[in-house]
Amino acid sequence: MTEPTTKRELKLTRQGWADALIELGQNPDVVVLDADLSKSTLTCQFKEKYPAQFHNVGIAEQNLVNIAGGLSLTGYIPFVSTYGVFLSGRAWEMIRTTICINNLNVKFGGAHGGLSVGPDGASHQALEEIAIMRCLPNMTVVVPADYEETRKAILQSAKIEGPVYIRFGREKVPVISTPESEFEIGKANVLKEGDDITIIACGAMVAEALDAQAALAEKNISAEVINLHTIKPLDTATILKSLQKTKALVTVEEHQISGGMGSAVLEAIASENPVPAELIGVPDTFGESGTPKELLEKFGLKSSNIAAKAEKVIQQKQ
Amino acid sequence: MANILELVKVYTPEIDEKTQKNLKYPPEISRFSTPTKQINMQYPIQFNEDELKEKARTMRKDIVKATHAAGSGHPGGSLSATELFIVLYNSILRHDCDKPTHETRDRFILSKGHITPAYYSILARTGYFDPEELLSFRKFGHFLQGHPKKDLQHGIEIGGGSLGQNLSIAVGQALGLKKRFTKSPGTDTDADTPNLNIPRVFDMSSEGELQEGMMWEAIMSASHYKLNNLCIMVDYNRLQIDGRTEDVMEVAPLDKKFEAFGWNVIVLKDGHDLNEIYQAFKKFNLLSAGKAPATQEPDQPELDPTKPTAIIATTIKGKGISFMEDNPAWHGKAPNDKELAQAIYELNETKN
């Protein structure tokens, strides 16, 4: 098993959420709503700076979402904050029927996504949000890879008229971008160019994909790495362009394989350019208590697993 | 689908075809009558009980005609909420069909989204669209969807239909309006000329909807945020799809529950009594302007101008049409040709 070849600085994505909200708070129409988790989601920092623009609705996620909807009807731009598992799951029908059918201008910050809540166990590990958010018409779904991308995604979401769901994790994740790096919601970033295989990743898995690319390069395998931070709308053009060149695909996400980012990619290429593919993610099972690292290893979400799957797919190319 | 003219023909067989052609039908049978004059934002708005009684009768005809034309829909709960709609839209709500997006308008949110036959009737009759459109209720491609679809130009503030959701929207709106308009406190605190500076939000709900847990999240938050510009109307008709509310899942005592959650409660003994409804709304006019009503009822709890207000209206489902009254079968069923003719006949006969 190869260990990561690059040592990267680690930084909280949720700090990107809080920093962006504080930047946006200069606009008095920006309001932030939380459901008794402001210390975890870090919206407490926004509250400290803009107390009149912060509302805690208590432990009531359904009410949280629709109060935000009502505020948006009076011209406010609400940013809704709580753990992704409760936000996307508990309040799914409110997001569907009130926010998405009416196309209300509400932004969702789904904190503690994926396996990053580790020891809390299965109830708190959000592994389904991409699937259940991307199937909603009018919704935009973004899974930024690091602190900077999270910050940029929040800032850009304020300029989109309509609902946006942004997923980020609890733990510090490797920094893969800089304040100057290009980031545009809806446009995938090709981080490494290659000819033999396309590795598409989102969220914290982008860093793992980059490590896998480096490991493959040592074996003279040239992998292209795409950071697919926006799951919806999907940048099909960038994906197809890459696959026309490499003719092989691996996707990797900290999410159920069923309905996730990999599924979205396969849906998009099915009629245009199907290629041999492997989807890496959580295989139709729930998580359990453990450190995030132990859980990522259990589900094969480390760079070594990605590299191994990539080699397997390359062999299927002929 | 038979139109009204054909129906009358079918059920008045003694009239020959020539007479039929030349017969001038009363306008309420042959056509939906033209919109009443538009309401503007000025106060005081008149309350004329006789006029409103006539309007309620027209609304009931709209309800049965629209559901008949659609072949589906919800007449029972529409008929129980009729007088609440009539008083609200004609005498209380500050709205103007020519300015449907005006930022200082009072908002009406339909929580029990299935009573679109009543909702669309009041919107048509207060000028938001031609009442003829009611005949296209629930039809493919038409804006009068089975459950409301957000359409501000036609007076529909927000979509609905999933019970339990919309009071939270009303809470968000009332909170947003208070935040936005509080900076300029009003001076007029008369019952007839309430504070025009903070728009109010009215939510129409029912006792059945209060079985949804989310309602209580919203109710709890409304008093926490001191939303005295929020009023919920509970159309307490004691029936739901599967039968009597007390048998399906008891919600009583609603007055005590709302009080315990920090709300003002006004119980209407007869939710079809126009004057009783109007007096309750007048109290809310004062409360929403930050002033307690001068005379408190001896048997009622004190009304607090910092609290949201619940008007719990004791009503009869299917009110006004004998075979629909207090019968859960008419929750979500359209009248057939014969039933429509009888309903219209009964409504024409009723002068009270």
Domain range enclosing B111: 4-20+51-349
Task: Let me know if residue B294 belongs to a domain.
Answer: yes
- Interface probe for B, chosen from A32, A62, A76 (most Cβ of B below 10 Å), is A62
End residue of a domain, out of A124, A143, A174: A174
Residue whose structure tokens are 């059920």: B11
Q: Is A61 a catalytic residue?
A: yes
CB B322 within 8 A of CB B291: no
Pairing of strands A54-56, B309-314: unpaired
Task: Let me know if residue A2 belongs to a domain.
Answer: no
- Tell me what pLDDT residue A39 has: 96
Please indicate whether residue B225 or residue A274 has the higher confidence score (pLDDT). B225
Residues A141 and A265 reside in one and the same domain? no
Task: State chain B's mean pLDDT as an integer.
Answer: 85
Residues in A touching B182 (Cβ below 8 Å)? none
H-helix or E-strand containing A79?
A: strand A77-83
- Tell me what pLDDT residue B95 has: 87
Residue B235: closest CA among B251, B217, B256: B251
Interval A3-18 mean pLDDT: 85
Nearby residues of A258 by Cβ (< 8 Å), 6 or more positions away: A131, A284
Judged against a pLDDT cut of 70, whether residue A125 lies above it is answered with yes
Please indicate whether residue B189 or residue B53 has the higher confidence score (pLDDT). B53
pTM: 0.91
- Tell me what pLDDT residue B69 has: 94
Judged against a pLDDT cut of 70, whether residue B319 lies above it is answered with yes
Residues A169 and A196 reside in one and the same domain? no
- Residue A164 CA to residue A140 CA, distance in Å, equals 5
CB A110 within 8 A of CB A167: yes
For residue A286, give Cα distances in angstroms to A112, A294, A309, B235. Answer: 16, 14, 22, 44
Interval A8-34 mean pLDDT: 97
Judged against a pLDDT cut of 90, whether residue A38 lies above it is answered with yes
Nearby residues of A135 by Cβ (< 8 Å), 6 or more positions away: A259
Interval B7-17 mean pLDDT: 41
pLDDT band at B61 (very low <50, low <70, confident <90, very high): very high
Q: What is the pLDDT of residues A220-267, one digit of tens each?
A: 999 999 999 999 999 999 999 999 999 999 999 999 999 999 999 999
> What is the nearest CA distance from A158 to chain B, expressed in angstroms?
18
Could you give the angle at which helices B337-349 and B49-70 cross, rounded to 10 degrees?
A: 170
Judged against a pLDDT cut of 70, whether residue B6 lies above it is answered with no
**What's A138's domain CATH number?**
3.40.50.970
Q: Do B165 and A57 touch (CB under 8 A)?
A: no
Judged against a pLDDT cut of 70, whether residue B124 lies above it is answered with yes
Interval B236-242 mean pLDDT: 96
- Tell me what pLDDT residue B298 has: 73
Task: Let me know if residue A181 belongs to a domain.
Answer: no
Please indicate whether residue B17 or residue B236 has the higher confidence score (pLDDT). B236
Nearby residues of A36 by Cβ (< 8 Å), 6 or more positions away: A56, A58, A59
- Tell me what pLDDT residue A318 has: 66
Q: What is the pLDDT of residues B30-45, one digit of tens each?
A: 334 433 333 344 455 7
**What's A246's domain CATH number?**
3.40.50.920
- Residue A192 CA to residue B222 CA, distance in Å, equals 52
Task: Let me know if residue A5 belongs to a domain.
Answer: no
Question: Structurally, how many domains does chain A consist of?
Answer: 2
The verdict on whether omega for the bond into residue B298 sits within 30 degrees of 0, i.e. cis, is no
How many angstroms separate the first and last alpha carbons of chain B?
32
Residue A103: closest CA among B179, B149, B108, B123: B149
Residues A61 and A104 reside in one and the same domain? yes
Percent of chain B with pLDDT over 70: 82
Residues A152 and A213 reside in one and the same domain? no
Q: What is the pLDDT of residues A280-305, one digit of tens each?
A: 999 999 999 999 999 999 999 999 99
pLDDT band at B182 (very low <50, low <70, confident <90, very high): confident
| Strand partners for B232 | B203, B310
| Strand partners for A34 | A56, A81
Residue whose structure tokens are 């199907």: A274
Q: Do A70 and B172 touch (CB under 8 A)?
A: yes
Task: Let me know if residue B43 belongs to a domain.
Answer: no
Residues A46 and A119 reside in one and the same domain? yes
- Tell me what pLDDT residue A4 has: 53
* Sign of the CA dihedral running A264, A265, A270, A275: negative
Task: Let me know if residue B36 belongs to a domain.
Answer: no
Judged against a pLDDT cut of 80, whether residue B89 lies above it is answered with yes
CB A122 within 8 A of CB A287: yes
Task: Let me know if residue B215 belongs to a domain.
Answer: yes
Residues A26 and A145 reside in one and the same domain? yes
* Strands laid side by side in the A77-83 sheet: A54-56, A30-34, A77-83, A107-111, A164-167, A140-142, A230-232
Residue A158: strand, helix, or coil = coil
Q: Do B162 and A57 touch (CB under 8 A)?
A: no
Judged against a pLDDT cut of 80, whether residue B64 lies above it is answered with yes
Residues in A touching B224 (Cβ below 8 Å)? 58
Residue B116: strand, helix, or coil = helix
- Interface probe for A, chosen from B109, B157, B163, B165 (most Cβ of A below 10 Å), is B165
- Tell me what pLDDT residue B196 has: 55
Domain range enclosing A216: 189-315
- Tell me what pLDDT residue B351 has: 58
Judged against a pLDDT cut of 50, whether residue B157 lies above it is answered with yes
Task: Let me know if residue B58 belongs to a domain.
Answer: yes
Q: Do A94 and B172 touch (CB under 8 A)?
A: no
Question: Structurally, how many domains does chain B consist of?
Answer: 1
